[in-house]
């Protein structure tokens, strides 16, 4: 009996602790904003968020990110969604973005925090609903649940006095950009890194470095494509003479960063053909960003990651295959979907060999 008890104790000691599993799920949720199912990536993302927000004296954004991440993950457990998605962090990535956005655009009061928790939780089942609609087209909702719900909330602040949109721009007609941009090497590097940090609405170049480190720990290709996406977007924004302030703050970089990772190494296999496809997607995202800025400026709303969603849908919906081996399931990027995609690839290989 003593031997059996000791063996059982050892087995329990070796089993993952429920608290550790919960922390892993949360960290993966942060990492999945850039398609990475990695606790280490999520940890570096959170470190970057806290560093950037405290540096800018907006700590409420960092804590909003943490609360949003926890609330959306909890919602997945409460409504009993497939646990595999939760374990991969897919319940949390929209919620953490809601947590960053609400304190950024609204006054820091108890009503804002209550709405943050509610809308972060909503992203989890709204994502499931959008995915059910889009799965038949072999694609995914990406960060659109965050975008859609945040737009609705920010629209509502215009008539709710208790929710003060302190940092939201005033509705106005778009104007031609003016001013000058310092294009020194050091400044260009800062603009480039801010394009990466702005994925989480953080305006800090050191945060951009931390995000790249986090990506590198999970996927070197993801880090390379994030860097390339921001660089190409920066070059285009300068060439097209976009608003200098927007360029300097990295506002033309964050959606192309996400598009680059999605097309460059997540939904297509890495090769020279998919690289050309990804570059085309990055270029398209910059133009879509400009068009959506014009559309949303009269409403006084930010585009958020809407340009990334639109551009990636345009490049994923055709289900273009560069070869038989490039047939992948683009409706999800979980481990289960990847295993299923591998089975498809194996069957296609057999057909090709015949």
- pLDDT for 155 beyond 60: yes
Structure tokens at 51: 């560093």
- What value does the mean pLDDT of the chain take? 86
Flag the least confident range among 141-150, 151-160, 245-254: 151-160
Question: pLDDT tens digits, residue range 238-250?
Answer: 999 999 999 999 9
Q: How far apart are CA 176 and CA 150, in angstroms?
A: 27
What local confidence, expressed as pLDDT, does residue 159 receive? 81
- pLDDT for 341 beyond 50: no
Q: Where are the alpha helices (DSSP H) in the chain?
A: 2-14, 18-31, 39-55, 59-78, 83-87, 93-105, 110-134, 144-156, 185-197, 205-218, 220-239, 244-248, 254-261, 272-296, 306-316, 335-353
Question: Which residue did the predictor score with more confidence, 336 or 185?
Answer: 185
CA torsion 305→31→17→119, rounded to 10°? -10
- pLDDT for 337 beyond 50: no
Averaged pLDDT for residues 68-92: 92
Question: pLDDT tens digits, residue range 31-67?
Answer: 999 999 999 999 999 999 999 999 999 999 999 999 9
Question: pLDDT tens digits, residue range 9-24?
Answer: 444 545 567 788 889 9
Residue pair 149/156 in contact by the 8 Å Cβ criterion? no
What local confidence, expressed as pLDDT, does residue 4 receive? 44
- pLDDT for 347 beyond 90: no
- pLDDT for 168 beyond 90: no
DSSP annotation of 9 reads H
Per the rule left: phi > 0, alpha: psi between -120 and 50, beta: everything else, 284 is alpha
- pLDDT for 201 beyond 90: yes
Residue pair 41/31 in contact by the 8 Å Cβ criterion? yes
Q: Positive or negative, the Cα torsion across 219, 221, 224, 226?
A: negative
What local confidence, expressed as pLDDT, does residue 172 receive? 67
Flag the least confident range among 111-115, 171-175, 257-261: 171-175
Say what percent of the chain tops pLDDT 70.
Answer: 81
- pLDDT for 321 beyond 60: yes
- pLDDT for 340 beyond 70: no
Q: How far apart are CA 322 and CA 130, in angstroms?
A: 27
What local confidence, expressed as pLDDT, does residue 116 receive? 97
Q: Helix crossing, 39-55 with 205-218: angle to 10°? A: 180
Q: Helix crossing, 254-261 with 306-316: angle to 10°? A: 30
pLDDT band of 171, cuts 50, 70, 90: low
Residue pair 115/64 in contact by the 8 Å Cβ criterion? no
What local confidence, expressed as pLDDT, does residue 350 receive? 52
Q: How far apart are CA 208 and CA 205, in angstroms?
A: 5
Q: What pTM was computed for the model?
A: 0.86
Q: How far apart are CA 69 and CA 99, in angstroms?
A: 7
Averaged pLDDT for residues 87-106: 95
Averaged pLDDT for residues 253-281: 94
pLDDT band of 319, cuts 50, 70, 90: low
Q: What are phi and psi of 333, to 5 degrees?
A: -130, 30
What local confidence, expressed as pLDDT, does residue 3 receive? 45
Structure tokens at 122: 């909503």
- Burial class, 304, CB count within 10 angstroms (exposed 0-12 / middle 13-18 / buried 19+): buried
- pLDDT for 284 beyond 80: yes
- Alpha-carbon 218 to chain mean position: 15
Averaged pLDDT for residues 74-79: 93
pLDDT band of 83, cuts 50, 70, 90: confident
User: Which of 202, 258, 206 has its CA nearest to residue 230?
Assistant: 258
Q: How far apart are CA 242 and CA 236, in angstroms?
A: 9
Question: Which residue did the predictor score with more confidence, 2 or 272?
Answer: 272
Residues 6+ apart with CB under 8 A from 264: 221, 224, 225, 228, 229, 270, 274, 275, 278
């Amino acid at each position: 009996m003593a031997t059996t008890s000791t063996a059982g104790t050892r087995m329990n000691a070796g089993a993952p602790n429920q608290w550790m599993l919960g922390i892993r799920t949360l960290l993966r949720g942060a990492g999945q904003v850039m398609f990475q199912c990695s606790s280490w990536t999520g940890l570096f993302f959170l470190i970057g968020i806290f560093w950037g927000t405290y540096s800018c004296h907006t700590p409420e954004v960092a804590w909003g990110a943490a609360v949003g991440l926890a609330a959306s993950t909890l919602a997945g457990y409460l409504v009993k969604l497939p646990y595999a998605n939760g374990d991969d962090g897919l319940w949390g990535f929209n919620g953490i973005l809601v947590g960053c956005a609400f304190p950024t655009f609204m006054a820091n009061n108890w009503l804002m925090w209550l709405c943050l928790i509610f809308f972060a939780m909503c992203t989890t089942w709204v994502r499931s609903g959008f995915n059910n609609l889009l799965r038949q087209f072999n694609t995914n909702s990406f960060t659109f649940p965050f975008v859609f719900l945040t737009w609705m909330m920010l629209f509502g602040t215009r008539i709710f006095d208790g929710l003060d949109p302190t940092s939201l721009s005033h509705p106005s007609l778009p104007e031609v950009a003016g001013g000058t941009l310092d294009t020194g090497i050091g400044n260009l590097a800062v603009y480039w890194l801010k394009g990466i940090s702005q994925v989480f609405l953080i305006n800090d170049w050191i945060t951009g470095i931390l995000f790249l480190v986090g990506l590198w720990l999970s996927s070197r290709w993801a880090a390379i494509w994030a860097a390339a996406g921001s660089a190409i977007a920066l070059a285009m924004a300068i060439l097209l003479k976009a608003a200098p302030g927007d360029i300097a703050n990295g506002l033309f970089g964050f959606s192309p960063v996400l598009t680059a990772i999605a097309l460059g190494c997540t939904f297509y296999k890495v090769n020279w053909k998919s690289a050309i496809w990804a570059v085309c997607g990055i270029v398209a995202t910059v133009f879509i960003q400009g068009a959506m800025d014009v559309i949303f400026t009269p409403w006084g709303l930010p585009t958020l990651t809407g340009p990334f969603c639109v551009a990636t849908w345009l490049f994923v919906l055709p289900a273009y295959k560069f070869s038989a081996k490039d047939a992948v399931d683009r409706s999800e990027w979980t481990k289960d979907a990847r295993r299923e995609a591998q089975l498809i690839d194996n069957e296609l290989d057999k057909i090709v060999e015949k």
